[in-house]
Structure 1
Amino acid sequence: MTVQSRMIRTARIQTHVLERPATGKAVRRVLLVHGNVSSGAFFRDVLEALPDDIHAAAPDLRGYGESEAAPVDAARGLRDWSDDLAALLDALGWADADLLGWSLGGGVVMGLAVDHPGRVRSLTLVAPISPFGFGGTRGPDGTPNSPDFAGSGGGTVNAAFVAAVAAGDRSDAPGSPRDVLRKFYLNPEKFQPTPEQEEVWLSSMLTTRTGDDHYPGDFVPSEHWPNVAPGTRGVANAFSPKYTDLSAFADLQPPPPVLWVRGDADAIVGDASLFDLAQLGALGAVPGWPGAETCPPQPMLEQLRALLERSGANGGESREVVLSGVGHSPFLEAPEAFLAAFTEHLQKERRT
């Protein structure tokens, strides 16, 4: 079936969806949830490659793609997005679904499982953010480095990059959206997109709404390094550990089965992320770093792995697949290996 584009009015917002209906009766319904500075357009190839008996949809989250640019209330953590998805399931007439979440979307689908557990059959987490958000924490349990969660939130985002997104910059200048796509969304040493692919993905990135209510959000000054702390509005504050704590996922009885797929060359999500100011401070790229005892880099992989181990004690099942030479976008960089792991996960869940 051909991928279709349609706008759906839910009980919450106007949501744009790329949809690939099943051929004949659908035996599974799959929702694919994108990450930050992107949209559902990144999933078009996945939609086309899924087995014919799967009905799949890739929505644009609020503030991205063609969906409504409703503001993000960061004090709710990821719930504006996860509640939007629950409303979308209602509008689609789906009682439940298998959910895939990439990067920020990984946190969103975990949050949906916490708040609406009966609607989630399985989770596939693709290069997901930590269950304790992004930046400003230490240890497997997400202990904050400072009481105001300094080092996370809207003030930690590169302002020049945000301005370039807002301006629709299509250049290949250092730090431009195209440059970030090439160097960080993908591992340039192993994967170069076709010109056509790059233009589609860049166009998707440039749909991101910017400002205090969107990306990156507001911030407040802090007495703790790097002297900025989360505000209450917008994207980067919503996934700050001040407002995002998904540790309750491990307490679900039982948690849904989880497939975790990541690349070993991911520079965005990892235990030494180049987007974590503490890691940049340790490398000398951000001045004034107080040292590892006060402000260690966030162990993002360790934190998720510890949570999944906890969920195992409650009957949860998880599998971690690490793809060699792959960066932040396994489904783009290694589509055959990714699709094999993903479809195996869905087929295994189908038999249980």
Structure 2
Amino acid sequence: MADMLVSAHGIEQNLLVRGPLDGLPVLLVHGNCSSAAYWAPLLRHLPEEWRIVAPDLRGYGDTETAPVDATRGLRDFSDDLAALLDALGMGPAVVVGHSMGGGIATQLLIDHPERVTALVLESPLSPYGFGAGGAGAVNPAFVAALAAGDRSGDTPTSPRAVLRTCYVADPASLGDDEEALLDTVLSTAVGEDNYPGDSVPAEGWPGVRAGTRGVANAMDPGHHNVADALVALEAKPPIAWVRGDKDVIVSDTSAFDLAYLGKLGVVPGWPGERDAPPQPMVSQTREVLDRYAAAGGQYREITFAGVGHSPHIERPEEFAAILREHVR
């Protein structure tokens, strides 16, 4: 892979590129608290003849730390990608999105359907958004550790500990890539304009609501909801939905969902199912993709047993095989 810096959508975007210019275009979109280099374990198993482009999103990696307008949902990111494809002269691509990147890839498809020939959603956030409370629901100890560049792993909220326990189910799967993958987590720009965003107090439980700036607020259901727009697309490319059954981030029982934690008694004051129901993220994705199929599209759900939030790291060869098959 080679680094390239491209000016597009008013910012300097860093990207990793590989393969011939006339190769099959494949766009890899990373998730929150990571960067393009988070795809490294997968890239070793992808065909050399593919033209792979993996950008750092704004505020991650070596791309410019531009602000995120949360009121637009994830459109700041998807608009960056559309402009980048224009700048590169890159034709319609197979788009692969991980976690938050799945939401960005879906938004790109909705706003620029001519850009996407096939979609691969790896552990994507729900089409109805992620969690509740926005930036105020993010653990401040983790944010502080990110800002400090903490590499220690001494506490459960350190970036290394989160990488080992939340990004994957089996920390041994990180192998020799652990330090480089930790680098991607620590590349996250921290602040009210980026991650997690501005925190806004609110009456009632949990005492916070989504603000108007930053990444966590952009994913909040109040700002990001692509369910109906995805189903309504006239042209529906095939979708492969890949997930791990041990994912603790995107799950029907997510450890990152305040309502579910409240139900468990971890977060005090939970008012109950009627006022604050936990978010069934996986079930929501399946419901929307079922509607997508009923409206003329097609999708496959592939579930890896014993795998967490990052199948492309925990089972890279199998993930690459799914991607090759989906392309065919």
Q: TM-score, normalised by structure 1?
A: 0.90
CA contact (8 A) 1:122 1:256 kept: yes
Q: CA separation in 2, counterparts of 1:243 and 1:133?
A: 8
Partner of residue 215, structure 1: 195
- Residues 106-146 of structure 1: CA deviation (Å, up to 9, x unaligned): 000000001111111111000000011111xxxxxxxxxxx
Q: How does 1:157-172 map to 2 (within 5 A)?
A: 157-172=138-153
- Residues 156-197 of structure 1: CA deviation (Å, up to 9, x unaligned): 0001100100100000112100000000101037x4422x31
Look up the equivalent residue of 2:245 and give its one-letter code.
Answer: D
Q: How does 1:186-335 map to 2 (within 5 A)?
A: 186-188=168-170, 191-194=172-175, 196-247=176-227, 248-335=229-316
Q: CA separation in 2, counterparts of 1:281 and 1:200?
A: 35
Q: CA separation in 2, counterparts of 1:233 and 1:7?
A: 26
Shift of 1:273: 0.4
Equivalent residue of 2:170, what SS?
coil
The answer to whether the aligner puts 1:13 opposite 2:11 as a matched pair is: yes
Q: CA separation in 2, counterparts of 1:250 and 1:307?
A: 7
CA contact (8 A) 1:134 1:152 kept: no
The answer to whether the aligner puts 1:112 opposite 2:92 as a matched pair is: no
Partner of residue 345, structure 1: 326
CA contact (8 A) 2:25 2:91 kept: no
Q: CA separation in 1, counterparts of 2:118 and 2:295?
A: 15
Shift of 1:339: 1.0
Equivalent residue of 1:82, what SS?
helix
Q: Which moved more, 1:92-101 or 1:317-326?
A: 92-101
* Count of paired positions: 326
Look up the equivalent residue of 1:87 and give its one-letter code.
Answer: A
Equivalent residue of 2:28, what SS?
strand
Aligned alpha-carbon RMSD (Å): 1.2
Q: CA separation in 2, counterparts of 1:222 and 1:92?
A: 44
Q: CA separation in 1, counterparts of 2:281 and 2:296?
A: 23
Equivalent residue of 2:165, what SS?
helix
Shift of 1:48: 3.1
- Residues 28-77 of structure 1: CA deviation (Å, up to 9, x unaligned): 10000000000000112322321122100110000000000000000111
CA contact (8 A) 2:122 2:241 kept: yes
Q: How does 1:5-154 map to 2 (within 5 A)?
A: 5-22=3-20, 25-26=22-23, 28-135=24-131, 151-154=132-135
Q: CA separation in 2, counterparts of 1:336 and 1:294?
A: 43
Q: CA separation in 2, counterparts of 1:184 and 1:303?
A: 21
Q: CA separation in 2, counterparts of 1:129 and 1:9?
A: 28
CA contact (8 A) 1:261 1:322 kept: yes
CA contact (8 A) 1:8 1:14 kept: yes
Look up the equivalent residue of 2:200 and give its one-letter code.
Answer: V
Q: CA separation in 2, counterparts of 1:52 and 1:226?
A: 49
- Residues 282-333 of structure 1: CA deviation (Å, up to 9, x unaligned): 1111000111222111010111111111111221110000000000000000
CA contact (8 A) 1:182 1:192 kept: no
Long gaps (5+) in structure 1: 136-150, 348-352
- Residues 197-250 of structure 1: CA deviation (Å, up to 9, x unaligned): 110011111010011000000121111310100110000000101110102011
Q: TM-score, normalised by structure 2?
A: 0.97
Q: CA separation in 2, counterparts of 1:257 and 1:152?
A: 33
Q: CA separation in 2, counterparts of 1:25 and 1:5?
A: 18
CA contact (8 A) 1:214 1:235 kept: yes
| Identity percentage of aligned residues | 52
Long gaps (5+) in structure 2: none
CA contact (8 A) 1:20 1:47 kept: no
Shift of 1:25: 4.0
CA contact (8 A) 2:239 2:298 kept: yes
